[in-house]
Structure 1
């Protein structure tokens, strides 16, 4: 009997072990703490429950007026996300230094709410001032809607506030009073009205054209930014949070296509590698995403994109960081706008001490010199070098000495290290960290500058991640300057179609 019992217990243990092996593994992440504006409570609560069920990560929500929550964050400096109901509160949070990445969730408008059918015929500020009208307002010190309306109405606010029947700290409290019949009117967000029975909007011209964004932002205090960012992506995803916001009467701002761990594909010219390689890894770790990065000559990168025919190919890059603006027009359809992030100088690299006495591009044509240049069809610097030499009537004579034409300038530097080249046309950045072995000979100032544009694909499923990467890189000026770049990242975006190349670069 004992023997049978042991066998049964062993079989049971084996069955449990087998079931555990088949059961999907779930991460045991610490709970996320989210400070959420009260007016957005219902959809966020539903989305948080769905997220917890899908990922196993608990989301703890704390609600209140946006102003009240902001005061808490200033004091406690704890939590993972803050959801502000208006743009002004978000700006205040940024000034306090408590926030980082931002995710617009919904667009909201301030409106005058009344009981269904508007029985008191309230349709103007004058009507709200009538002695028989009971008005509910949100406290501007505590709630975003109160602060926004106070600013919009100016002096009229004081008159309304003086006669208000109630003034409460959250928009949902005054909407509830109106729904219960305790007041006749309330000024609320348009998204709040569908959340309460028996309410409708009445016209109020002073508010009609104004709108605000409710935005989720990652708190600087978050100890698990990757998980916080994942939840923020879930909130905005068209397949996840978006439909829930819409179902509950909100106007959602579309985010990126949902993926628990998105893969961002980046094409980058080789010159950018020394500055961005480590930065990309920092960004990927914080975001909790995978980065597929392809470094190569921009001619090769553009040819690869053209081979894919269009951006419907899943391997088409989400982000393109070219070596110069001359390689943006070929893919302007997919990347219609760019930020000119950095600038790099083009030089003639020679061994330390310049033993061959090379001082100009014309010197590269001297008989017997072994010269390295990059391939004009494969790389930006090759194209620029070819165009520069052609414009100076030096191409034929210098190209005869070109014992090497490679896709990227770092190959030329390696060949110089082995002594197989006497000189090479490269970026100054390529030899910036090896000044003990190389000297740089400057080239004509009007033709020796390459400007690196950063662009996010207009139809990328990871467009918002790409834009956050751009924002991250624009905050890393020192890293780029330490690598030898000249910083240009504070300039306004340029339209790819508006990029005009100088005449010397238009030569065939």
Structure 2
């Protein structure tokens, strides 16, 4: 080709571009590259944070007792209904004095054991009789047990004992309506049933019982509202119901529950749980409350009984 000056000019042929990817594929590749860059930048930014968290973890491990959790970790205790009033007082003391956070689930002993077995959660188990602790231990749910005290089975009646109930035979009278806790759910019901069996009174007791309640507090509530004349309860319940009277039946003389608290093997905060156990079983703290609420102390160094 001639340029305006009459000389030939060399013009390169048109450049042919061959696309390996289509336009949409190119955009996808660029987006992938952008995501990769962003991810790398995020990882680089996270490195200092990871080192900081690792350093904190090592520091916490150096100052934490053996086991998981610390003394300030929140814990959950499964507690028998018979111990509700005293446990509420102890937990309030503990929170005020130690700052610990304790959540309590109240109920009948067998019901609580079933909850623990199914959920595998929580930290402590305090049933109304140590036989439930041994059941839990045999099932691999308890790692340690700590004794607390004893309770006796008695009859609770209206103030002044208007039905003149003094023996088992009085419970069999037609003019007496009495209730007891379900032996399939509550420790007091189980202890009472075993006592009736030893004395050969099971059939008579079953026939005369007006109703079975879910736990000991429900049985006592029937007397409070007047739907029953008497109920089989633990003697410590007298503290909870000052308007009622306690009658000790000769037939229930041996119906005694020894109880304690067990550390659950599934506890996520065993250090905090053990700290609370130490408080509950301390003669200067928890045991003071137990005496105040009508429970009986164990002889010194007496272990929990075997089933």
- 1:327 lines up with 2:145 in the alignment: no
**Superposition CA RMSD, Å:** 2.9
Deviation at 1:354, TM superposition (A): 2.2
Whose RCO is larger (CA < 8 A, sep 6+)?
2
- 1:482 lines up with 2:292 in the alignment: yes
Write the distance in 1 (CA, Å) between the matches of 2:252 and 2:278.
30
Q: Name the SS for the 1:359 alignment partner.
A: coil
Deviation at 1:468, TM superposition (A): 1.1
- 1:361 lines up with 2:171 in the alignment: no
Deviation at 1:295, TM superposition (A): 0.8
Match of 1:306 in 2: 117
Match of 1:350 in 2: 157
Change (3 A) 1:257 1:383: same
Change (3 A) 1:276 1:441: same
Match of 1:268 in 2: 79
Write the distance in 2 (CA, Å) between the matches of 1:388 and 1:301.
23
Match of 2:59 in 1: 241
Q: Give the 5 Å matches for 1:391-410.
A: 391-410=198-217
Match of 2:93 in 1: 282
Identify which of 430, 433, 437 aligns with 2:244.
Answer: 437
Q: Give the 5 Å matches for 1:38-437.
A: 239-241=57-59, 254-257=66-69, 262-308=73-119, 311=120, 316-332=121-137, 333-437=140-244
Match of 2:5 in 1: none
Q: Name the SS for the 2:162 alignment partner.
A: coil
Q: Deviations over 1:64-99 (max 9, x none)?
A: xxxxxxxxxxxxxxxxxxxxxxxxxxxxxxxxxxxx
Deviation at 1:343, TM superposition (A): 0.9
Q: Name the SS for the 1:328 alignment partner.
A: helix
Change (3 A) 1:296 1:357: same
Deviation at 1:356, TM superposition (A): 2.1
Write the distance in 1 (CA, Å) between the matches of 2:181 and 2:251.
18
Match of 1:470 in 2: 277
The answer (yes or no) to whether the contact 1:325–1:451 under 8 Å persists in 2 is yes
The answer (yes or no) to whether the contact 2:235–2:246 under 8 Å persists in 1 is no
**Bigger Rg, which one:** 2
The answer (yes or no) to whether the contact 2:166–2:247 under 8 Å persists in 1 is no
Deviation at 1:459, TM superposition (A): 4.5
Write the distance in 2 (CA, Å) between the matches of 1:445 and 1:429.
15
State TM-score, norm by structure 1: 0.45
Deviation at 1:437, TM superposition (A): 3.3
Change (3 A) 1:490 1:419: same
The answer (yes or no) to whether the contact 2:68–2:269 under 8 Å persists in 1 is yes
Change (3 A) 1:445 1:347: closer
Q: Name the SS for the 1:323 alignment partner.
A: coil
Q: Name the SS for the 2:135 alignment partner.
A: helix
Q: Name the SS for the 1:282 alignment partner.
A: helix
The answer (yes or no) to whether the contact 1:350–1:441 under 8 Å persists in 2 is no
State TM-score, norm by structure 2: 0.72
Q: Deviations over 1:359-399 (max 9, x none)?
A: 22233222342111000111100111111112222222222
Number of residue pairs matched? 251
Write the distance in 2 (CA, Å) between the matches of 1:256 and 1:363.
54
